[in-house]
Amino acid sequence: MRSMRKSSRAVVILLGIALVLFALSATVWAAWGNARRSGLGAAIEARLTATPTRTPRPVTLTPRRGSVEPAIVAFTATPVPTAVATVTPAPPKPTSAALSPYLAPIVAQYGMDPSRRFIVVDPNTQRMTIWEPGKAARELPISTGDEDQGYYTLAWYGLVGKYWGTFHAYGTYADEGWYLYDDPTGSILVHSAPYELVDGKKVYEDLDALGNYPASHGCIRLTPDDARWFTAWQPQGVPLVILPRKRASG
């Protein structure tokens, strides 16, 4: 019985101690919680009521003119590469294509244009000179009017006329005829040496007279080959001058 009372008393003491400890713990906890809560609230209140601070912007420097003026740099031309020495061409040497002392006065007298083609017939030398710019003058042997027989090749200046081709006159034929002019005896032409047809072949007359003496009836005769060349040269419209015949005195 006595032991049971002791046990009950001990339980009551323990409960009392527990209550005291609980009370103390609650007091401490309450004090700590209030301090914590008051500090947190103060921090929040301070943050909410604090004056906002403006974030500073980067400092922009105001441009200022320097004390040294900009210098103007003079333009320097790029040097031209040294060229290879230029050789000055020598003046052109006189060539056979230049007007000869024989042709120059004729051209001046008749007012012919040396930059164009022309023809000179000289009964005194029995030569025809063909002039073509840029080429050597070409000389062809000819035979003009036989004055001893009463046939003359008169001095004349004009343009070569139409092509007659082959024609028949004074009992003979002639090829490559080119008309020049009419005189009292008939038409004057440039043509090949006359010929007769013998057994279908051409037999030419007075070939030895070409370049040597007058033997025609007034026309200007050429060798057959030169007459063909003359036609191929296309002389129609080309100026042609027949120089005056100079007969020997006595």
Q: Report pLDDT digits (tens) over 138-189.
A: 999 999 999 999 999 999 999 999 999 999 999 999 999 999 999 988 999 9
156: in domain: yes
Structural domain includes residue 227: yes
Angle at CA of residue 96, ends 91 and 102, nearest 5°: 115
Question: Does residue 95 form part of some domain?
Answer: no
Instruction: Judge residue 20's burial from the number of C-beta atoms within 10 Å of its C-beta, 0-12 exposed, 13-18 middle, 19 or more buried.
Output: exposed
Other C-beta atoms closer than 10 Å to the C-beta of 75 total 5
- 181: in domain: yes
The answer as to whether 28 is a domain residue is: no
Phi (first) and psi of residue 210, to 5 degrees: -65, 120
The angle at the Cα of 135, spanning 134 to 138, to the nearest 5 degrees, equals 145
- Per residue in 14-46, pLDDT (tens digit) is 777 877 777 666 665 555 555 555 555 555 555
Chain position carrying tokens 């200022």: 64
- The whole domain housing 205 covers 103-242
Asked if residue 126 lies in contact with residue 212, where contact means CB atoms within 8 angstroms, the answer is yes
Q: Classify residue 54: in a domain, yes or no.
A: no
User: Counting runs of H as helices and runs of E as strands, what totals does the chain give?
Assistant: 3, 11
In a domain, 204, yes or no: yes
Q: Supply 88's token pair.
A: 């000055």
Q: What is the pTM of this model?
A: 0.61
Two tokens, residue 91:
């003046």
**153, amino acid identity:** T
Number of domains in the chain: 1
Of 5-14, 59-68, 133-142, 187-196, least confident by mean pLDDT is 59-68
CATH of the domain at 107: 2.40.440.10
In a domain, residue 122? The reply is yes
Residue 240: what are its φ and ψ, rounded to 5°?
-135, 130
195-198 vs 239-242, strand pairing mode: unpaired
